[in-house]
Chains A and B, each alone.
Chain A
Amino acid sequence: MKQSTLCSAICLLTLFACAEQDGPLNPGANDHKTLQEALLVAEPGAVIELGAGRFELDATLSLDVEGVTLRGQGMDDTILDFASQAPGTGGEGVLVTADDFTVESLAVENTQGDGIKVEGTTGAAFRSVRVEWTNGPDTNNGAYGLYPVQVTNVLIEDSRVRGASDAGIYVGQSANVVVRRNEVWENVAGIEIENTTGADVYENRAHGNTGGLLVFSLPELPVKDGRDARVYDNDIVDNNLPNFGKEGAIVSTIPAGSGVIVMASDNVELFGNRIRNNQNSNLAVISYLSTGRAYNDPGYDPYTEGIYIHDNEFVGGGDGPNGAFADAFVELAGGTFPDIVWDGVVNPERLVDGAVPDELRLYIEDNGDADFINLDVGAVFAGGQPDVSTDLAAHQGALPAVPQPVDLGAATGGAP
């Protein structure tokens, strides 16, 4: 099936290869005008080739033409520099509102807001792109590096993001998502998959962030209830950077030293990951209720259900708990957190004869000598005594229906 997908993607690309430029666009006297005009007059399916060098851009670049590929000469060679972006010219470096967009082999540096935002489309591919705030972690850096939101069919691969004051790679309110072989470091959150259905996140390396990898479902958003994520073969290492996000945003509450956090998303399978030396906790599975954040959203499901954690390698970590959740509950765990922390909160309305149905349970198996705690926070919220447990036997087994691999089809320009 993968082969046929690849073939049809290439065929599509060939069909679209009709609007060739004479040569690449090169940096010059008025880079914004040059690039923006090329984006405005592009024919559908056009390939816009950018030469090597540094393009100085004082305003957002926006694209609203379908099927366009924006291609540089390499993520260290073609640089879109937004350091001089002026007020009133847009809130991001590149803004895309057209289907079947591909950006590859270039860098976006020092945007005042987000790096590359794709909004409300079908088909977005980011390939070998670097987004970087070159001053490193700074509260005043832009929020997101690579930022598809409400996009169906997203591919983010072989890219690098550093310095985002929210999330380096942020996929929000989207569906059918592949995030693979990326490196994210020195962001508040390395990778965040939020309110998204169907995501394969693999072979990424998240290190030196505040939090490495987040799979969240948040309230008060038009697209809710993220589910069906497969998180595998990632390296989530040393994510111990002090949180530099502005207060108010959810990630500003992430404790420094968070490896992987799964919150309120359902049907998530985590396997084959190497999760090491994240000092708050290597892996936490919590409900939104445990954040203590109030919300007004009757349609929102705050519970984290159907989680399957297997065949991961855990090393170190949990030895520097911090933040509000740790302040409230780490004593229940004896002052440090084990590899896998579960808040133990379940939806009382979905219990059958007092038990969590199989498809909603937390399963943990074959993670070497990884240790575990169920903090039973729900009992604390109810004013009672928590029934804290470190017994993995209660979590043996496999999720009855694991999430299916994401099939992107041809819409993202195809897999390599």
Chain B
Amino acid sequence: MALRSRGSAIRARLATAALTLALAGCTAGDGGSGDGPFARYPETLSSWDLFVGEPADHVPATGVEPYDLNTPLFSDYALKFRFIQFPTAPDGALQPATYRDPEPFEFPVGTVIAKTFAYPADFRSPDEDLRLLETRLLIHEQEGWVGLPYIWNEEQTEARLVIVGGPLEVSWIDGSGRTVEHTYRVPNTNQCKTCHRTDGERLLPIGPHARQLNRESVYADGGGGPGGAENQLARWQRLGLLEDAPAPAEAPRAPVWNDSSTGSLTERARTWLDINCAHCHNLSGSGRTSGLDLRAAHGDRTRLGIYKHPVAAGQGTGDRLYGVVPGRPDESILVYRLESVHPGVMMPELGRGLVDSEAVALIRQWIEEMELGTEA
């Protein structure tokens, strides 16, 4: 998906027949911003001044940068539109992020990271008839990051803060012309923490890593290169939005999980597991109690699940003995849980209600071709 489409072609036209909202009338005090720790946050997304013009068009305001990731998290096939709003210093200059690796970049207090989730009416024309569902914000406060979900109204004119999230009935036509009916789940603010508390203590951004951002995108403002294309890291450096960064060629670059020209099978599988699983399954995240560590950057076979017994999987084992059995995807618990949509079995537990069939095929092939004694 080219970023260029975002300025003009994200014009979200309500596909009235196909899409209805289950969460009708989410007004303040009715599951909205409510009391307690969330009362201080604006009720409407437009209050954050992320966009100019019609909010649904997502034309970034000054100081707001669109970006994409090499390999994103699967969210029931929803399209995602990502933005970072850099805070302004007293002298009017934008305050830059600081390059880090392998940790996510360090962003100044006042940064807002926004991600809008949307479905096109027909995935064969993904730029048309977009239905915006929710926009999640990560706000960098003095005391740390805070996650907030804003749900778009049926008219697509505004999104409102709904801290309890909730179900949205959606449908679309998939790439093969088949109509899919689905209950999409907007997470609540605790569920923001479940995934984003990657170190077990603080909320942190998951996407903005050097390896994920190191890619070319096409920018509506012309970018810095031919056809409006520019490397995201190079652009941020050129615009003074990123400090202490090496040239993109010197920075790590994650493969695109479904593009075999960007990395080996193992690299792409490990990257997919990293972005989809490792925010919990690392040494200190919420999946730590299982002993399973699915980050891309280690070579410990047991922590990766290879011949590792399950611990608290319960019926999630599917009668299989190990997390990963080299050469045998159908004997690997990892595959069983990725292929399930049973709440007591499926992984990830949050953020999906459908099976990511294409990714499962990748993980299957990775296990299939894994040799008994080779490094994973």
Contact = CB atoms under 8 A, between A and B. Distances in A.
Contact of B188 (A36, A85, A147, A248): A36
B307 A296 contact: yes
Given A40-B163, A222-B288, A90 B191 contact: yes
Contacts of A220: 291, 302, 308-309, 311
Given A40-B190, A114-B314, A119-B286, A143 B344 contact: yes
A142 B314 contact: yes
A111 B342 CA distance: 11
B34 A40 contact: yes
Contact of A246 (B163, B194, B315): B315
A205 B335 CA distance: 38
Interface string A238-253: 0000000111111010
A164 B320 CA distance: 19
B353 A97 contact: no
Interface stretch (A58-66, A277-285, A360-368, A388-396): A58-66
B316 interface: yes
A141 B316 CA distance: 10
B58 interface: no
Contact of A63 (B31, B190, B353): B190
Contacts of B181: none
Interface stretch (A165-173, A207-215, A310-318, A400-408): A165-173
Interface stretch (B35-43, B126-134, B228-236, B269-277): B35-43
Contacts of A63: 190
Contacts of B343: 85-91, 112-113
A21 B289 CA distance: 35
Given A113-B344, A294-B307, A166 B353 contact: no
Interface centre among A88, A142, A172 (most CB of B within 10 A): A88
Contacts of B193: 64, 97
Contact of A41 (B37, B76, B166): B37
Given A40-B164, A222-B291, A296-B307, A248 B333 contact: yes
B55 interface: no
B309 A295 contact: yes
Interface in B123-161: none
Interface string A24-47: 000000001100110111110000
A295 B307 CA distance: 8
Interface in B292-326: 301-302, 307-322
A248 B320 contact: yes
Contacts of A144: 312, 314
Give the interface size bracket for B toward A.
Answer: 35 or more
A293 B311 CA distance: 13
A245 B312 CA distance: 12
A188 B75 CA distance: 35
A91 B350 CA distance: 8
Contact of B185 (A89, A173, A245, A252): A89
Closest 3 A-B residue pairs measured CB to CB? A143-B314, A248-B317, A41-B36
23 contacts: A36-B188, A40-B38, A40-B164, A62-B191, A86-B167, A87-B341, A87-B342, A87-B346, A88-B343, A88-B353, A90-B349, A112-B342, A119-B289, A139-B315, A143-B313, A166-B312, A222-B289, A246-B315, A247-B321, A248-B318, A249-B310, A296-B302, A297-B302
Interface of B: 31, 34-38, 76, 163-164, 166-167, 183, 185, 188-191, 193-194, 200, 283, 286, 288-289, 291, 301-302, 307-322, 333, 341-346, 349-353
Interface of A: 32-33, 36-37, 39-43, 58-59, 62-64, 85-91, 95, 97, 111-114, 119-120, 139-144, 147, 149-150, 165-166, 170, 172-173, 218-222, 245-250, 252, 293-297
